[in-house]
Amino acid sequence: MGKKHMFGARRVELAGACVALLVLAGCGSTPVNRAPVEDRGSSVSKPTTVQDPRTQAVKQPQGFENAGKAGYYTVKPGDTLTRIGLETGQGPKDLARWNAIDNPNLIEVGQVLRVVPPAADTVAVAKPVATSSATTTALPAAGAASSAASAPAPAKAASAPPATAAVAGSGEDELAWIWPGNGPIVAGFDEVKNKGLDIGGNAGDPVLAAGEGKVVYAGAGLRGYGNLIILKHNNTYLTAYAHNQTLLVKEDQTVKKGQKIAEMGNSDADRVKLHFEVRRQGKPVDPVKYLPPR
């Protein structure tokens, strides 16, 4: 009996030891409330960098370095090359060529465009009048008297300015103008409301070139003008003929003074009329000062 008792006690002792070992092993494998381990070495060797937005590269529009310089124009919302050309006295195709624009419909706000020809680039116009670089003339005063032409062919020019109104360095070429339409004036010139003359008439009436020149635009891409023709007469003057029913000339074509270039209509207008503008270096001026008296 004594040996059996001792053997049983031994078994109980061993079992208790095993239970204790299992408990210790279980406690060692269960992460209860373990503190996080901070790897200071990795945080030092691999610092987190945040880029300052002020140092990030910003894409600038084409030609931004020329903004504000003479001879350059910054594109505004709603601009087209045709409108910019009309406002600066240049042809849209010339603007596209000078600025290496492949698609004239893709210009962006803020883009800065060259609006004067490069030194080696000259725009061909019909029969330019040679002028002295030292003697130039300014806009005629309102009501300037007509000067009688001594030659039999040219018409009288109502806009012949006095010699005392010369402006040095303008390089202006003198022109002898004719009326582009025979109808009555239905709206006069206003720098804000009407940048030209509105001449009445009937649909299909002839629209004549007011002077010799080159067609730099013929189309309907300028809102508010309908079917439009723009002639470049020299490096100073453009004329515009709007709201036509039919256009009879094409871009880059040279026309003569008095040539029929369109038929009167009411495209993008409330009535049949010819809207006629004279632009001096892009600025609209009163055509009456340049046309002969009726």
The DSSP result for the chain, as a single string, is -HHHHHHHHHHHHHHHHHHHHHHHHHHHHS--SPPPPP-HHHHHHS------GGGS--PPPTTGGGTT-TTEEE--TT--HHHHHHHHT--HHHHHHHTT-S-TT---TT-EEE-S--TT-----SSPPP--SS----PPPTTPPPB--SSSSSPPBTT---GGG--TT--PPP-----S--S-EEE--BTTTBSSEEEE--TT-EEE-SSSEEEEEEES-STTT-EEEEEE-SSSEEEEEEEEEEE---TT-EE-TT-EEEEEB-TTSSSSEEEEEEEETTEEE-GGGTSPP-
Rounded to an integer, the average pLDDT of 250-267 is 97
What was the pLDDT predicted at 20? 53
Digit-coded pLDDT (tens) for 4-59: 555 555 655 655 555 554 444 454 444 444 545 445 444 455 555 566 656 555 67
pTM above 0.85?
A: no
- Binned at pLDDT 50, 70 and 90, residue 143 comes out as very low
The model's pLDDT over 175-215, given as tens digits with 9 standing for 90+, comes to 899 999 999 999 999 988 999 999 999 999 999 999 999 99
List beta partners, residue 114.
72
Tell me what the mean pLDDT of segment 81-102 comes to: 91
- Region 216-229 average pLDDT: 95
Does the structure show a pLDDT above 70 at 159?
no
Q: Residue range 248-252: average pLDDT? A: 97
Distances in whole angstroms, Cα of residue 125 to Cα of each of 81, 182, 235: 20, 26, 8
Q: Which domains does the chain have, with CATH numbers?
A: 60-118 (3.10.350.10), 126-139+150-294 (2.70.70.10)
